[in-house]
Chain A
Amino acid sequence: MNATSSHDTGPRAVLSARGLRRDFSGFVAVRDVDLDVRHGMVHALIGPNGAGKTTVFNLLTKFLQPTAGSITLDGHDITRATPAKVAQMGVVRSFQISATFPHLTVLDNVRVALQRPNGLASQFWRSLSVLDRLTPRAEELLRMVGLDDARHGLAADLSYGRKRVLEIATTLALDPKVLLLDEPMAGMGHEDVGTISKLVKSIAADRAVLMVEHNLSVVADIADWVTVLQRGEIIAAGDYETVSKDANVREAYMGSEHA
């Protein structure tokens, strides 16, 4: 793959942003961001604190409206869509803090996600037992991520690492085209990081993954493409090898004396 151009070669871009910009009353949090999240690839978004990574996430998933620029999903313009609509179209995100439904069981966490695509979300006149038909699929997803032993416990009682895993299982329940993971390994022990890395890599086999991550060894390990953000702007993009040698990136990460 050509690492120096803006990577218009390679697998098809599922989610694309062009000229993305967001102002917060005079302060420009994100400017001129071009991104292509490609099918079958893990795309890492890195950068120092306050670089605007989470803002980019919020813009792509429409939790924030961009001030300028456009976002397309499979060629359809989704710049003005609502967050729920974008999720329905197959762009599903996780959050920096773990996002489970704490007082639902692990199994119900996944089943809640399955309800919408299966058209079982708004029936207020039917018994809960109609959801039983979602159980096999939910259990299959839990088995895939190694949570099947905990399925009847509350999500709140899971360890931090397993909560993040549950989140991924819940996200996968929607069979998304694009997964956006906001710091999936943050605050996690060594073993958990290994497990989740493998999981993320395997997920990306037949969908696109965009991931914000601070742990650079994880990025080196699993990212096929890296975009580096600093003060809201892209300062480098390419595979990890290229990006890690980039003078701007080294400066951003280590300070000018090392540049």
Chain B
Amino acid sequence: MAVTPANATTSRASRIEAALLALGIIVLVALPFFIYPIFVMKMMCFALFACAFNLLLGYTGLLSFGHAAFFGGAAYFTAHAVKEWGVGPEIGILIGVIGAAVLGVIIGFFAIRRQGIYFAMITLALSQMFFFFCVQADFTGGEDGIQGVPRGNFLGLLDLQDPHAMYYFVMANFLLGLFCVWRIVNSPFGMILRSIRENESRAISLGYSVQNYKLAAFVMSAALAGLAGAVKALVFQFATLTDVAWQMSGEVILMTLLGGIGTLVGPIFGAGFVVALQNMLATSAFPVTIATGLIFMICVLVFRRGVVGEIYAWLERRNTGNR
């Protein structure tokens, strides 16, 4: 037996992911010449958000219902830093990411003490507390949010007011974020996360302090969600309550499930699909929530693994059939 079946499927899946990635980058580079750049930038922000979320749900088995706090929180921190303190976009984003990570430590510290639905409820409760903090706090501008955030000059050199410069800046952040997710998932640490997802008590009995691993994964996921939110604040030049509201936490779950949890490409697809759908329906009279709700139901009933997950499963079945 030269190549064993499991090996073949694993390497096949990773080859497909690598090929998709290369193709994706080429498409991304060319895209702003064909499509409205802001639209693609929005997709990238949400795709990164969903990938960060998937790091927790797909690879650690923790369902957070409070990720809007990190996404929207980072948007506020970055917007405030850039507008009021006048820092550059790179420092602004860094502040957003660190802020989200700190929020992640606080929320994660309490949430990881419980499992399953209780974990989800605690994350929801704490992110709602953060939402009300954002409603009340001065620096967020309450109902108005923070408007007119300057994009500034990247490293003082590149003027990000230029749509194409901004586009490639966002793309670089997006790819950096994706690389982080990929690196974490395919690392010794990621292996331990998977073992915790598979069988938590067994991982404990092998001597792993699973609480520490869960918290670390939670903070990493929060920080990456923060990166997505921080970049989004610069793209749209505002930060508002929409991004910290619980609906946003629900939306990222939808995107991830739709695309396929536990795959690298799935959440990107899911996010792209949902954003495109919202964009299409924004001008029509048909309510977006009904459309996404219907799609979510179909997804849960028909492709439980998500669209990308089902494709992988199909490839694997075909592969087994041919052997």
Residues on A lying within 8 angstroms of B by beta carbon are 61, 63, 82-85, 87-88, 92-95, 99-105, 108, 111-113, 115-116, 120-128, 130-131, 152-154, 170, 174
The contact sample of 10 A-B pairs, CB cut-off 8 A, is A63-B204, A100-B199, A101-B199, A115-B188, A120-B188, A122-B188, A127-B186, A152-B5, A174-B206, A174-B207
B204 and A99 within 8 A (CB) = no
* Residues on the A chain within 8 Å of B186, using CB: 127-128
A116 and B208 within 8 A (CB) = yes
Residues on B lying within 8 angstroms of A by beta carbon are 4-7, 183-184, 186-192, 194-195, 198-199, 201-210, 213, 216, 220
Task: Provide the main secondary structure of the chain B interface.
Answer: helix
* CB within 8 Å for A123 and B206 given contacts A63-B201, A99-B199, A152-B5: no
Residue on B nearest A62 in the bound complex, by CB: B204
* Residues on the B chain within 8 Å of A99, using CB: 199, 201-202, 205
* CB within 8 Å for A127 and B187 given contacts A84-B210, A100-B199, A104-B198: yes
Residue on A nearest B217 in the bound complex, by CB: A124
* Residues on the A chain within 8 Å of B202, using CB: 95, 99-101
Residue on B nearest A123 in the bound complex, by CB: B188
* Residues on the B chain within 8 Å of A61, using CB: 205
A87 and B194 within 8 A (CB) = no
B198 and A121 within 8 A (CB) = no
* Residues on the A chain within 8 Å of B5, using CB: 152-153
* Residues on the B chain within 8 Å of A153, using CB: 4-6
A152 and B204 within 8 A (CB) = no
- B190 partner, pick from A83, A87, A93, A124, beta carbons under 8 A: A124
B210 and A128 within 8 A (CB) = no
A101 and B194 within 8 A (CB) = yes
Minimum distance in angstroms from B222 CB to a CB of chain A: 14
Residue on A nearest B210 in the bound complex, by CB: A84
A83 and B204 within 8 A (CB) = yes
* CB within 8 Å for A83 and B205 given contacts A152-B5, A152-B7: yes
* CB within 8 Å for A105 and B189 given contacts A84-B207, A116-B206, A124-B184: no
* Of A63, A121, A174, most B-chain CB atoms within 10 Å: A121
A131 and B201 within 8 A (CB) = no
A126 and B187 within 8 A (CB) = yes
Q: How far is the CA of A154 from the CA of B201 in the complex (A)?
A: 19
* Residues on the A chain within 8 Å of B194, using CB: 101, 103-104
A108 and B191 within 8 A (CB) = yes
B205 and A124 within 8 A (CB) = no
- A102 partner, pick from B184, B198, B210, beta carbons under 8 A: B198
Residue on B nearest A151 in the bound complex, by CB: B4
